[in-house]
Structure 1
Amino acid sequence: MKALVSIITVNYNGLRDTCEMIDSFRNHETYPHYEIIVVDNGSRLPEAEEIQERYRGNLVPDGSLSGSPASDNPIPFPPVKVVRNINNGFAGGNNAGLKAAGGDYLFFINNDTLIKEPVLDALVRRMECDPQRNGGVSPMLKFAACPDILQYAGFTPLSSLTLRNTSIGFMQQDGPRFRTPCETASLHGAAMMVSRQALQDAGPMSEIYFLFYEELDWSAQLRKAGYRLWYEPAAVVYHKESMTAKRGSPMREFYLSRARVLFARRNLRGIRKYLSCTYLCILVAPKKAAVYLLHGQGTLAKATLCGTYRGMFVQYR
């Protein structure tokens, strides 16, 4: 029997997107042994109940598993398990889904994605090429609004100073040069498969970030545990994320600024850690805040500074 794959997605006021993602798997996925787990992260409307009713899912209150196993259900698709959770961020939602997951492989996928052809078999085959060393894999990601344009074909390593990286192939047309599987510095949070063994060795995603850098931190932990991470172009996922730059919001600026400093504190060592934190706190944050102030965007300036310095002094495990 094929290994069980647990597909885990987080829903937050996104019922339509979540249902379209589930339907795309039911319409196109041919892998014979998978389950879908939806974590509702405190949506304002009763979306957990709607998903449960629509897909005959087992409702899992507060992250604890209940209900009959999928194999007892006579419908041709496995039921969707629904977990009700408070909104404790991207990592917290995915970690809640882990409690209901029984798979040998965990496929974390954003609810605003779609597939148009099978993806699980190619991802599992990549993992099983070397199951002792391959810890995670991400598929090719394309923009749903322009399906010939790439969003992700692997990541370059993060700069140890700026803590920025580059998404290989971003905004470029798909072509032969992006069709070769290769190791990647980091998995993509919109779609990433991790083995159960790698999860046990590296631990779950850290919940200290709330937003941003969770998958980069987790990729760093997986690599520290001795695992290789892969980009697999034989599997393609379409992401509804906008192709244009997102406009700043105070919440985005706060959490992004905070996350970069937290990542440096958690993952860098020695002089690299000192230099990165100094660069982010003394140079980047004040300069960015000054630019916002010059454009009359005081709330964004405040969010940038508060996020940076909270990142420096917040306690974490």
Structure 2
Amino acid sequence: MKMTSIISVNFNQPEVTIAFLKSVKEHAGEIPLEVILVDNGSKVDHGPEFLATFPGLIYLRSAENLGFAGGNNIGIERATGDFLLLLNNDTEITPNLIPVLSEELDRNPEIGLISPLLLYYDQPDLIQYAGFTEMNYLTCRNKGIGNMEHNSGQYDQASRETAFCHGAAMMCRRTDLERVGLMEAHYFLYYEELDWCEKFKRAGMKIWFSGRTKVYHKESVSVGKESSIKTYFMTRNRMLFIRRNTGWLNTLLFSLFYIFIACPKQMLVYLKKGRTDLIKWVMKGLIWNFSHSNQSADLGFKI
């Protein structure tokens, strides 16, 4: 049986990560498996506790916070499995997760990346993800399929192509990365998994959703606490994604929309909310794109 490498990243969430490791230990069964945990520059090294929770864990520690993509890339480069399963540390798995996803990849060589059904951990009958609609590249907007629907089994037999995977849970073949490459670490936060999906598509592979298995995600239904880091990277990376993944004409049309409609609208929202402190971060995220190449490693934000 082929081996799967589970890769996850911890950043200052030891309790959440320990619960994740316990979930893997409980539900992975006898499947050939290696589990790789990357600590992304946490203030305190909880390595001994992680290793005690999951004997045999491959624990890697980065001296600095490299972001979602950078942390996962460390794990990917260390992995030896035939399949790579990237899971957020705030997820808990189910017993058939690995068999179903790996079976889908074995059965259909056209699949590049695949994600399962995601349910909210605190409201397990509520769907977070059942796929994504196609991107409107002129606005860089799409919609989540199934999001906030009551789970009544409507996606249990679904196995279909979708526009994008969900970064909380996605599997690929290790050999495919020889063509596709790693995630782009210079996104740091937000849009990196969408960009990775685009890379798989350009390599001629499909993005897939399977409702035949599921993962519980501890992200809150009301997630979205506004902050300078979220505002900056959301603004910066929405435009960076378009610059990296569309032609010059689309980028120009998007830029006009973004500069004169989307960003002013967002600033007005912050003004009405009394969050004038965030307006400058919209501006900074926008300006970064006009002063940096789309390959720049300069984040423009002090982490």
Say whether 1:121 aligns with 2:121.
no
User: What is residue 169 of structure 1 aligned with on the other side?
Assistant: 146
Deviation at 1:154, TM superposition (A): 0.6
Q: Secondary structure at the match of 1:145?
A: coil
User: What is residue 284 of structure 2 aligned with on the other side?
Assistant: 306
Deviation at 1:47, TM superposition (A): 1.6
Measure, in 1, the Cα distance between the counterparts of 2:49 and 2:260.
48
User: What is residue 67 of structure 1 aligned with on the other side?
Assistant: none
TM-score relative to the length of structure 1: 0.89
Measure, in 2, the Cα distance between the counterparts of 1:183 and 1:157.
11
Unaligned residue ranges in structure 2 (runs of 5+): 296-303
User: What is residue 267 of structure 2 aligned with on the other side?
Assistant: 289
Q: How do residues 51-66 of structure 1 correspond to structure 2 at under 5 angstroms?
A: 51-56=50-55
User: In the alignment, is the contact (CA less than 8 A) between 2:21 and 2:53 conserved in 1?
Assistant: no
User: In the alignment, is the contact (CA less than 8 A) between 2:243 and 2:294 conserved in 1?
Assistant: no
Measure, in 2, the Cα distance between the counterparts of 1:270 and 1:316.
13
Say whether 1:143 aligns with 2:142.
no
User: What is residue 6 of structure 2 aligned with on the other side?
Assistant: 7
Deviation at 1:175, TM superposition (A): 2.9
User: In the alignment, is the contact (CA less than 8 A) between 1:31 and 1:121 conserved in 2?
Assistant: no
Deviation at 1:119, TM superposition (A): 0.6
Deviation at 1:103, TM superposition (A): 0.8
Measure, in 2, the Cα distance between the counterparts of 1:309 and 1:176.
45
Q: How do residues 224-235 of structure 1 correspond to structure 2 at under 5 angstroms?
A: 224-235=202-213
Q: Which moved more, 1:21-30 or 1:37-46?
A: 21-30
Matched pairs, number: 293
Say whether 1:158 aligns with 2:135.
yes
Say whether 1:213 aligns with 2:169.
no
User: In the alignment, is the contact (CA less than 8 A) between 1:208 and 1:316 conserved in 2?
Assistant: no
User: What is residue 179 of structure 2 aligned with on the other side?
Assistant: 201
Q: Please identify runs of 4+ aligned residues in structure 1 that moved more than 4 A.
A: none
Measure, in 1, the Cα distance between the counterparts of 2:133 and 2:176.
22
- Give the aligned residue type for 1:125: E
- State, as a whole percentage, how many aligned pairs show the same letter: 36
User: In the alignment, is the contact (CA less than 8 A) between 1:281 and 1:309 conserved in 2?
Assistant: no
- Give the aligned residue type for 2:132: F
Deviation at 1:28, TM superposition (A): 1.4
User: In the alignment, is the contact (CA less than 8 A) between 1:257 and 1:304 conserved in 2?
Assistant: yes
Measure, in 2, the Cα distance between the counterparts of 1:91 and 1:118.
26
Root-mean-square deviation over aligned CA pairs? 1.4
User: What is residue 183 of structure 1 aligned with on the other side?
Assistant: 161
Measure, in 2, the Cα distance between the counterparts of 1:287 and 1:300.
13
Deviation at 1:49, TM superposition (A): 3.5
User: What is residue 43 of structure 1 aligned with on the other side?
Assistant: 42
Q: Secondary structure at the match of 1:177?
A: coil
